[in-house]
């Protein structure tokens, strides 16, 4: 499982994406991203999630998000990308 950090803004996005992309490539199977620890973020958090989704689908792997915090879910709705970030079951 991939984990988002507590803080994910434009400032942290590039390094965070690089680290999570390496983890995604190294682990087999479906990709689940844990967003439960996320407390401070901006739209860059959505960009990171959407890029991880793109990478997972390019590898023909399922993608889901666990623990999507309400404010991030709301932001995804505002941007019209909620359907692209399915909840892990």
Total domains, the chain? 1
* Domain-embedded: residue 11: yes
**Residue length of the chain:** 89
pLDDT of residue 10: 98
* Domain-embedded: residue 78: yes
* Domain-embedded: residue 89: no
pLDDT of residue 33: 98
**Which structural domain range is residue 57 located in?**
2-84
Asked whether 66 and 32 are in contact (CB, 8 A), the reply is: yes
At what angle are helices 43-58 and 70-79 packed, to 10 degrees? 80
**CA 84-13-87 angle, 5° bins:** 25
Q: Return the CATH number at 47.
A: 3.30.750.24
**Per residue in 28-48, pLDDT tens?**
999 999 999 999 999 999 999
Low-confidence stretches of the chain (pLDDT < 50) are none
pLDDT of residue 7: 98
- What pTM value is reported for the model? 0.96
């Amino acid at each position: 499982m991939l984990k988002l950090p507590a803080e994910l803004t434009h400032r942290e996005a590039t390094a965070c994406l690089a680290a999570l992309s390496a983890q995604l490539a190294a682990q087999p199977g479906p990709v689940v991203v844990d967003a439960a620890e996320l407390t401070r973020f901006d739209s860059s958090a959505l960009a990171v999630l959407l890029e991880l989704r793109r990478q997972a689908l390019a590898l023909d792997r399922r993608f889901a998000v666990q623990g999507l915090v309400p404010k991030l879910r709301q932001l995804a709705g505002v941007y019209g990308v909620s359907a692209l970030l399915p909840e892990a079951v």
